[in-house]
Amino acid sequence: MQGRIGLLLRSPLALACALTLITLVLVALIGAPLVKDIANTQNLRLRFFPPFSLDHGWTYVLGADALGRSMLAQLIVGARTSFLVAGATVALAAVIGTSIGMVSGYVGGLVDAALMRISDIIVTIPSLLLALSVLFVLEPSIFNLIAVLAVARLPIYLRVSRAQTLEIRERVFVEASRAIGATSATIIWRDIRPLVVPTVMTVAMLEIASVMLAAAGLSFLGVGLQRPDVDWGTIVSEGREYLTRAWWATVFPGVAILVTALAANLLSNWMRSSGDPLQAAAMGASASREEAARQ
């Protein structure tokens, strides 16, 4: 771990990305409670107040929306929701997907086949359509949004952890554990999990950006979050109605998503290239299909 941080300090781009992400998370966590009231304050005299002017204080430096609410404060409040949704979705999908994947790979047989078919089903339905129909049934809320996104993202973790488990299962130290009478649960927890988790962490880092984009897309389509909950996607979709009148209401929240996703993507790209080459190989998207075709 220490080696990783040393490497990070020596790579300016990766360091910049890490600092950007940390800053954004801190602003979201600390700033959101502080500016919540400002974000909800409507000031009709400041409707469509243009950005980059300090005439009405720092809160209006990024302009105001159709109801005269400060864009900057909205963005900070939206940041917290966006990070919460992305973080919780990735964590939920990673924990559940990896657990199922390890059990499925270790136990094998009918359980494995059934779980893989379920994963196929999830992959077959266009994820946006699944989310659209489920969120249309359930009320739009942060919890439902996280649950739906997590289900759609499960197969990735399932496949990665299962593929690794299949390989680790055959190693000598697992056989040794079995020989001294360890139960399957112990073997999965003690022998297999420590080797699977680092790969899953790398995948999870890569997933944060795409989950953030997916959540924003759903909010944009009007089935993700709705007022009083607000995330960056909601702000874009609200700003869209005044696109020609006030470009800043649409452009700024999108820039916020872009900056966050880009920082996360650059960082995970760096993690892969600087990390264990074996991990990079295990994540190869196409490996499993080629193997299947060659059999």
Partner 1 sequence: MLRFLSVRLTTSLVALVGVMVLVFFLARLTGSPASLYLPVDATDAMVEAFNRQNGLDQPLPAQFAQFAINALQLDFGQSLAQQRPASVAVLSAMPQTILLAVVAMTLTLALSIPLGIFAAMKPNSLLDRTITLFSLFTASIPDFWFALVCVLVFAVNLGWLPTSGQGSLASWVLPVATIMLHPIGVLTQVVRGAMLETLNAGYVQNARARGYSWWRLAFRHALRNAALPIITVAGDRAGGMVNGAVIVSAVFAWPGIGQVLVAAVYNRDFAVIQAGVFVVGIAVILLNVLVDLVYVAADPRIRVS
The nearer residue to partner 1, 93 or 188, going by C-beta atoms, is 93
Distance (Å, whole) CA 234 – CA 227? 8
Considering only 62, 64, 257, 282, the residue that binds partner 1 (CB under 8 A) is: 257
- Is residue 33 a contact residue for partner 1 (CB under 8 A)? no
Lookup: tokens for 176: 């040794």
- Is residue 78 a contact residue for partner 1 (CB under 8 A)? no
Q: Coil, strand, or helix at residue 125? A: coil
Angle value at C-alpha 156, between 152 and 161, nearest 5 degrees: 135
Considering only 88, 199, 220, 234, the residue that binds partner 1 (CB under 8 A) is: 220
- How does DSSP classify residue 33? H
The nearer residue to partner 1, 41 or 141, going by C-beta atoms, is 141
> What is the end-to-end Cα distance of the chain in Å, rounded?
39
DSSP state letters, 205-266: HHHHHHHHHHHHHHHHHTSS--TTS--HHHHHHHHHTTTTT-THHHHHHHHHHHHHHHHHHH
Considering only 213, 226, 229, 275, the residue that binds partner 1 (CB under 8 A) is: 213
- Is residue 295 a contact residue for partner 1 (CB under 8 A)? yes
- Is residue 244 a contact residue for partner 1 (CB under 8 A)? yes
Binding to partner 1 in span 104-163, by CB under 8 A: 117-118, 120-121, 123-129, 132-134, 136-137
Give 261's Cβ-side CA count (13 Å radius).
18
Binding residues vs partner 1 (CB under 8 A)? 117-118, 120-121, 123-129, 132-134, 136-137, 209-210, 213, 216-217, 220-221, 233, 236, 240, 243-244, 247, 250-251, 253-254, 257-258, 261-262, 264-266, 269, 284-286, 289-290, 292-295
